[in-house]
Amino acid sequence: MITYIIESGVCMSISLICYVIFFNNDKYLYFNRGYLLFTLILSLSLPFIDIETEYSYFDSSHFNIVADNEVVAETAEVTTKKSNEESTAITPFYQFYTIVLMAYFIGVLLMFFRYFKNLIDLSKLIAASERVDRGSHKLILTKKLIGPFSFMSFIFVNKNQFENDEINETIWTHELVHARQYHTIDILFVELLLVVFYFNPLVWVYRLFLKSNHEYIADEKVIKKHSDLEKYANYLIQFAHSKNTMLFECSFNYSSIKNRLMMLSKSKNSKLLFANKVALASLLVLATAAMLAFKNIEKPQMNENGNDQFTVVIDFGHGGKDPGTLSDDNSVTETEIINSIGSIIKEIQTQSNFVYTRGNEFVSLKDRTDLANSVNADLLVSLHVGSQVGSKSNGVEIFYSESNFASEQSKTIAQQFAEKLKFRRGSRSNSVKTANFMVLKESKCPSVLLSLGFLSNQKDLDYLKSYENQKNLAKQIVDILEQVKG
């Protein structure tokens, strides 16, 4: 979420700076409207765009295996046994995070209420007022003392002012421009964004500029049709005191009168100068977007036989700041066991092309599956160690996903591992299970996850801590992979 806020904020900031410098005081008003809407949408969608130049290895959360054959998805919190010191350090953070999250959702609810209350208020005002149908638009004659304003194809005016012919033709022209150019849709769109992004001051700035732009467009149309700038300026000042409280209106008296009069008195810059401004602003905005969208991604590690046809992506679970599960005696973590087995696998000579998802760093689930898909892997094998609180579970479990692109092949490979992989004597028989772990279901190749024993079981723990046993497991895994290749 923080990354999203920063990336979208940077793009919005650059876009608004360009708008203020190049376009805000320029009379290419239709371009300005399009620029504001485009850059707002671009900024909010940009964090979802990843253009990879190499392979990416950065992360979020992972998964773990917990009590009595229950599988917890990767997006859930990892259930591990941590020391008292770790628990004490983490608790305040999650308390703060929960408070911030609750405050945010309260704000969303309030903004949601604000949004729909104003729609309801407009509906009530229409229902309580006299309506005059004029084809492309409808007049709403209200008894409330309000200044003229429009919403969609409705134009609201005070009934007494209308009947006494106090509303000049220039005002009708102004409001008709709002109605015919669908300015309300822009406002509805931005106000809806504010329900979610109410905390972002830059979205409020976009709202301000869009509303001002609508008024400039309507003013320009009025002067083109009626030509009397001085008379129109007097009407602007006359209605300046009118205070409308509706959220979505396009109002005759909206925005600074001084700014509007200044804009009316300006003339357009030359097309060549404007084109240069557009080119420079486009370069700055698109360059910013590109820098945020392109990711600096490391290349995957490969063994010496990196050009062989059969490619196996070997995923070492967890890593970096994510230690995985912790043994009951706090002597070893899942990551330490997997890193040790993984380093042995890397030293074994094989004719297959092994690609590793990580070294010692923290790697996201998405990056792991993206790697497997980008190298067109023939197989993905993810290595883990399990833990079950208050359980006597032990031995090896092999998982595959029925949602995988090649679920039947995955199941067959999982069964081969179950049949051929030898763990410690006395452990339970290897079992094959299904689970929708992201690394399994999102990989576009057969995929299996090996849970090599349980750190919560003392006998498994003793077995896994032995370097000779780690070496034996690593050799078996490589041998089975060679057999899978056929």
How many other CB atoms are found less than 10 A from the CB of residue 399?
Answer: 24
* Residue-level pLDDT at 199: 93
Of the chain, the end-to-end C-alpha distance in Å amounts to 45
Of 80, 70, 7, the closest CA to residue 290 belongs to 7
Residue 427 in contact with residue 459, Cβ under 8 Å?
yes
Tokens 């490391």 -> residue: 298
How far is the C-alpha of 309 from the C-alpha of 485, rounded, in Å?
10
Residue 15 in contact with residue 292, Cβ under 8 Å?
no
User: What's CA 198's distance to the chain center, in Å?
Assistant: 16
Helix 407-420, helix 467-485: angle, nearest 10: 140
Element (H, E) at 66: strand 65-66
How far is the C-alpha of 413 from the C-alpha of 419, rounded, in Å?
10
Backbone angles phi, psi at 402, to 5 degrees: -70, -15
Buried b (16+ CB within 10 A) or exposed e, 444-472: ebbbbbbbbbbbbbebbbebbbeeebbbb
How far is the C-alpha of 176 from the C-alpha of 173, rounded, in Å?
5
The pLDDT profile of the chain, 486 residues, written as one tens digit per residue, is: 677 888 888 999 999 999 999 998 888 999 999 999 999 999 999 888 766 554 443 333 333 333 333 333 333 333 333 334 433 444 455 577 788 889 999 999 999 999 999 999 999 999 999 998 888 788 889 888 777 888 888 988 888 888 888 777 888 888 889 888 999 999 999 999 999 999 999 999 999 999 989 989 988 888 888 777 777 777 776 665 555 556 565 554 445 677 777 787 787 878 898 898 899 989 998 888 888 877 654 444 444 444 446 899 999 998 888 888 888 888 899 999 999 999 999 999 888 899 999 988 888 989 999 999 999 999 999 999 988 876 678 999 999 999 888 999 999 999 999 999 999 998 899 999 999 899 999 999 999 999 999 988 899 999 999 999 999 999 999 999 988 876
Tokens linked to 87? 């628990």
How far is the C-alpha of 83 from the C-alpha of 93, rounded, in Å?
16
With vertex at residue 131, the alpha carbon angle to CA 162 and CA 122, rounded to the nearest 5 degrees, is 100
Tokens 């729909």 -> residue: 116
Coil, helix or strand for 75?
Answer: coil
* Residue-level pLDDT at 27: 86
- Count of residues for the chain? 486
Coil, helix or strand for 433?
Answer: strand
* Residue-level pLDDT at 231: 75
Cβ neighbors of 363 (< 8 A, separation 6 or more) are: 57, 58, 59, 319, 320, 357
How far is the C-alpha of 148 from the C-alpha of 218, rounded, in Å?
13
User: What's CA 271's distance to the chain center, in Å?
Assistant: 38
How far is the C-alpha of 152 from the C-alpha of 138, rounded, in Å?
10
How far is the C-alpha of 462 from the C-alpha of 477, rounded, in Å?
20
Q: How many CA atoms lie within 13 A of 320 on its CB side?
A: 14
* Residue-level pLDDT at 243: 56
* Residue-level pLDDT at 251: 52
How far is the C-alpha of 220 from the C-alpha of 397, rounded, in Å?
73
* Residue-level pLDDT at 89: 41
Tokens linked to 215? 């008024």
How far is the C-alpha of 408 from the C-alpha of 448, rounded, in Å?
11
Of 377, 423, 370, the closest CA to residue 398 belongs to 423
Element (H, E) at 139: strand 138-142
* Residue-level pLDDT at 382: 95
